[in-house]
Amino acid sequence: MSVPKPFSERYEAALANDALSESLLSFQRSWRDTRDAQILDLESISGLKAEALSSGLAAMKDGVIADLPATIARFRAAAEAAGAIVFEATTAEQANEYIAQLCRDRGVRTVVKGKSMVTEELFLNEHLERAGIKAIETDLGEWLLQLDDDRPSHVVMPAIHRRRQEVARILERELGVPFDDDDIPAMVRSARTALREHFLSAGVGITGANALIASTGSTLLVTNEGNGELSASLPPVHVVVAGIEKLVPTMADAMKQVRLLARSATAQSITTYTSFFTGPTPGHEMHIVLVDNGRRAMAAEDWSSAALRCVKCGACANVCPAYQVVGGHAFGHVYTGPIGLVNTAFHHGIEAAAGPQSLCLSCGACETVCPVEIPLPQQILQVRRRVAEEVGIPRKRRLAMRAFASRRLFGLGVRLAAIAALPFRRGRFTKAPFTARFTTWRSAPALPLRPARAHGALHASRAAIARTEATGRRVTLFMQCVSDRVAPEVVLATADLLRAAGCEVDIPEAQHCCGLPAIDSGDDANARRMARQTLEVLAGADDVVTPAPSCAIAMLHDYERLFEDEPVWQERARRLSGRVYDLTGYLVGPARLPDGVLARGDTRPVAIDRFCQGANVLGRGDTLETLVRGLTGANVVPLDEAEVCCGFGGSTSLLAPDLSRGVLERKLDNVRASGARVLLTDNPGCLLHLGGGADAADMDVTVMHVAEYLAARLPGR
Amino acid sequence: MTTGTVLLDELRTRALAAQSVVHELPTWADVAALALALAGDEAVAVTPTLAAAHPELAAALGARLLLPDPASPFESVADAAVGIAEGVLAVAESGSVLLAHDARADRAVSMFSRIGIQVVSRDRVVPSLGDAAAWLEANEGAVSLATLVTGPSRTADIERSLTIGVQGPSDLHLVVLG
């Protein structure tokens, strides 16, 4: 097996492979259903909520990570007492050379291997090959990839990117007999026969470990095929290679991990084989190679240490919309999926992480299924900040960000663009030939000549239609830069709804951008500048309401982190966070209007896109559906995968438009299947993305911000 | 229903879900009869540990008994029609049997047979994986190879198509004895 090709080649190859995204889509859908059922099952078995089980596992792993030397010492003593030889390797080179030397000392030229991500990380096979030792993978998927000089694209299902026709050809080449493309059982039988010869002739068996149990010195290994068990017990020498983060204190802790691992990985309650190896079998040898290779550095930093909790289940990839479109070769390096965007920086360097991390849409789905609660979205953003500092910000992202940095320049730019685009206006959209790459699949909006702030209606008073908790409150409307300049109707509708709920609406002229595009780009300096400016503008209001939940989330979740080394600004951010609402949150909270006060009678089926971060970060479920149905009596129809990202993803859609398009297609297919004629979203970025996509695809559906839909039903509007 | 019945029902449900076949048999002679029926006219392999502990099983298998050759245990039982092993626990929560082997010959029988029979005494059925963890913790150092086996060997590595029987047995029978 070779080392990964350059990122741009991997990304282009993935985009060219339609079969890949189709098969990953069907995989993600079926995994989600089965996994959710398995988690419910575990809740009923254990009598505990999934969150409690995950927090328990996370706390156990954190305890180990916080005290690695003591846990390693306990494990070493117990393993040695059981007769194993323990070797601690700081670098990949040390680990590889220890194993190569062991093979040389025993006169071994052929080793069999169970599936092991850490040996992929170390490039152990390549090292052994250079030493004249042949390493044979025995996991079926890994073996097939090895035969074809390919690499795993998923931590659990390595060959998920390969089709059965390709597998048949690989086996024909290796075994010299023909295979029927549709006879998978025959392929598996032949693999069993071929691999059995290797098990019987190899002099060393190498496996990874899912856990290292400190109290007994045992190593835990789970497989479904049984190949790991055979690799461990047939050859006279068993070598276990494991990262130091695999340590757990006791068997009971290991079993807690077992309960969550298979459910999160393959959505099984338990794997077929769950094996504990404690010392060698009589007359044999067992070596345990404990690998650092960047792990202690990962443990040493506050932002990254939680990534060491990872149990390599792959759940994060299984819900990642970007992974679905491009697979693990592009969305990852050696380690794939969201966790791969983080740990690659430590195992293989920041350069190796730079390309893959640029594909993250920041939707937050990964964190919601992680069985050890790794804050992956924040960690990926931190990797992006590192990439920005050490590798540089990509030109497109830098330009986009610069455009947002100044209120005047941004306003002027949009106005000039609006004038230039006037001849190309087609209704609500612009069809200009020179922006084809971005607009053939997503029509650009017709840019308004006047921003929201210049509309008299925004500042006019309006009578309240009901008494709410927010009646009489002074609300600062944070318009959001994009809505103000590109979708002023959203801002006008928001102001109308707030006034209808009895609020006194204040619109500071100096407001501009919250800094999200800079945060999202890993551009710390600009992010801080814009966040400070926003904090100054918003000081003093009772409540702050914005029609953009993405901006509210930036203020609520990102500001405090952004200012972690500036206590004064961090305190201001903390004070603001108690008063910030997105419009949806305000409408279902203090400004909840009574059901039925808005005009009814629109019978068109309405689908509601659940803004991904709203669902994943704020924990919103059917909040908007209930609100819209209650206020207007609308015919709200179910939308499959409503909380899966639409592909907007801020600057990622600019940097990786083809990825963004792939994610959008999944959403639009779901919208088509829902039969909706109106599609509502509560995030302005998604509004432009979905609206443009639906227009370019000629769909018979009107895409609106929920504020527009509701405000249009206010009395007298 | 007694607690025992509830436990056994749970074990049966979970084992079936993992595609094991569950039997309740009174004696080792019944286990031998099941093995002989499953083996057709082929031999029945038995782990050396089990054969030594229960000579009545070996006796009931008669000439069809196959014991691994200590010099080359895996080669000698490779693709035996049936292999019988005794488990130390059965776990109701997951439908698993805990095999605890110190000898490779025992593992050769449990891993290299085409059909596996795993026998667990009725009083060794425990509710949860936590009980299995407690056993493993208490027997530290006593066994070098301990495996919770849950159903027949399987793979989904080719287009996620579930295929039963890769390296280990492709049929698994779980016998609750006594």
**Which amino acid, one-letter code, is at A195?**
L
CA distance A334 to A340: 7
Say yes or no for a CB contact (<8 Å) between B154 and A224. Answer: yes
Q: Least CB-CB distance to A276: which of B146, B152, B166?
A: B146
CA end-to-end span of chain A: 66
| A263 pLDDT more than 80 | yes
| A180 pLDDT more than 70 | yes
Return the DSSP state at A435.
G
**In a mutagenesis test of the B interface, which of A255, A257, A266, A318 is the best target, namely the one with the most B β-carbons within 10 Å?**
A255
Residue A365 CB partners (closer than 8 Å, separation 6+): A319, A320, A321, A612, A616, A643, A644, A645
- Strands A134-137 and B171-177, how do they pair? unpaired
Is residue A404 packed enough to be buried (19+ CB in 10 Å), middle (13-18) or exposed (0-12)? buried
Is residue A44 packed enough to be buried (19+ CB in 10 Å), middle (13-18) or exposed (0-12)? exposed
Which pLDDT score is estimated for A654? 82
Say yes or no for a CB contact (<8 Å) between A274 and B148. Answer: yes
Q: What is the DSSP string of A635-665?
A: EEPP-TTTTS--S-TTTHHHH-HHHHHHHHH
Closest CA in chain A for residue B165 = A225
**Which amino acid, one-letter code, is at B129?**
L
Is residue A626 packed enough to be buried (19+ CB in 10 Å), middle (13-18) or exposed (0-12)? middle
> Closest Cα partner for A9 from A356, A351, A350, A344?
A356
- The two three-digit tokens of residue A713, written as one number: 């039903």
CA distance A675 to A225: 43
Which pLDDT score is estimated for A560? 92
- The two three-digit tokens of residue A446, written as one number: 């017709």
CA trace torsion B52, B56, B61, B62 (10° rounding): 90
Instruction: Return the beta strands (E) in B29-142 as ranges.
Output: 44-46, 65-66, 82-86, 89-91, 96-101, 115-121, 125-126
Say yes or no for a CB contact (<8 Å) between A278 and B140. Answer: yes
Return the DSSP state at A573.
H
**Distances, alpha carbon B70 to alpha carbons A300, B65, B101, B103, B116, in Å:** 50, 15, 15, 10, 20
Which pLDDT score is estimated for B59? 96
| Banded model confidence at residue A434, pLDDT cuts 50, 70, 90 | low
pLDDT averages per 10-residue partition of chain B, 178 residues: 83 97 98 98 97 96 96 94 98 97 92 97 97 94 91 94 94 97
The arithmetic mean of pLDDT across residues A671-695, rounded, is 97
Higher pLDDT, B142 or A275: A275
- The two three-digit tokens of residue A162, written as one number: 């390969």
CA distance B18 to A268: 9
Per residue in A200-254, pLDDT (tens digit) is: 999 999 999 999 999 999 999 999 999 999 999 999 999 999 999 999 999 999 9
Contacts A82 to B, Cβ<8 Å:
140-141, 144
Contacts B18 to A, Cβ<8 Å:
269-270, 272
Least Cα separation, residue A257 to chain B (angstroms): 11
Highest mean pLDDT among A132-146, A446-460, B3-17: A132-146
Closest CA in chain A for residue B100 = A276
Q: Least CB-CB distance to B136: which of A158, A191, A276?
A: A276
CA distance A699 to A692: 10
| A472 pLDDT more than 60 | yes
Contacts B148 to A, Cβ<8 Å:
270, 273-275
CA distance A245 to A57: 13
- The two three-digit tokens of residue A111, written as one number: 């080793």
| % residues pLDDT > 90 (chain A) | 87
CA distance A565 to A573: 13
Which pLDDT score is estimated for A403? 72
Say yes or no for a CB contact (<8 Å) between B148 and A259. Answer: no
Which pLDDT score is estimated for A596? 87
Contacts B104 to A, Cβ<8 Å:
233-234, 281, 284
Which pLDDT score is estimated for B78? 93
What mean pLDDT value characterizes chain A?
Answer: 94
| Location of structure tokens 């959008």 | A664
**Distances, alpha carbon B103 to alpha carbons A674, B106, B108, B113, B118, in Å:** 60, 6, 9, 16, 17
* Phi, psi (degrees; rounded to nearest 5) at A277: -105, 120
Q: Does B133 touch chain A (CB under 8 A)?
A: yes
Which pLDDT score is estimated for A576? 94
* Phi, psi (degrees; rounded to nearest 5) at A223: -145, 165
Q: Least CB-CB distance to A259: which of B104, B129, B156?
A: B129
Q: Least CB-CB distance to A188: which of B102, B150, B163?
A: B163
Say yes or no for a CB contact (<8 Å) between A225 and B136. Answer: no
Q: Least CB-CB distance to A159: which of B75, B151, B157?
A: B157
| Location of structure tokens 């830098």 | A398
Least Cα separation, residue B42 to chain A (angstroms): 20
Say yes or no for a CB contact (<8 Å) between A278 and B144. Answer: yes
**Which amino acid, one-letter code, is at A631?**
L
The arithmetic mean of pLDDT across residues A513-518, rounded, is 93
Which pLDDT score is estimated for A435? 66
Closest CA in chain A for residue B99 = A275
Least Cα separation, residue A283 to chain B (angstroms): 10
Closest CA in chain B for residue A227 = B167
> Closest Cα partner for A368 from A360, A357, A376?
A376
> Closest Cα partner for A266 from A50, A38, A58, A56?
A38
Least Cα separation, residue B6 to chain A (angstroms): 14
Per residue in A326-338, pLDDT (tens digit) is: 999 999 999 999 9
CA distance A343 to A297: 11
Directed axis angle between helix A395-405 and helix A524-538, to 10°? 20
The arithmetic mean of pLDDT across residues A497-520, rounded, is 95
The arithmetic mean of pLDDT across residues A349-365, rounded, is 96
Directed axis angle between helix A337-347 and helix A321-330, to 10°? 40
CA distance A204 to A707: 66
| Banded model confidence at residue A436, pLDDT cuts 50, 70, 90 | low
| % residues pLDDT > 70 (chain A) | 99
Say yes or no for a CB contact (<8 Å) between B145 and A277. Answer: yes
Say yes or no for a CB contact (<8 Å) between A278 and B161. Answer: no
Which pLDDT score is estimated for A399? 74
CA distance A611 to A240: 44
Which pLDDT score is estimated for B26? 97
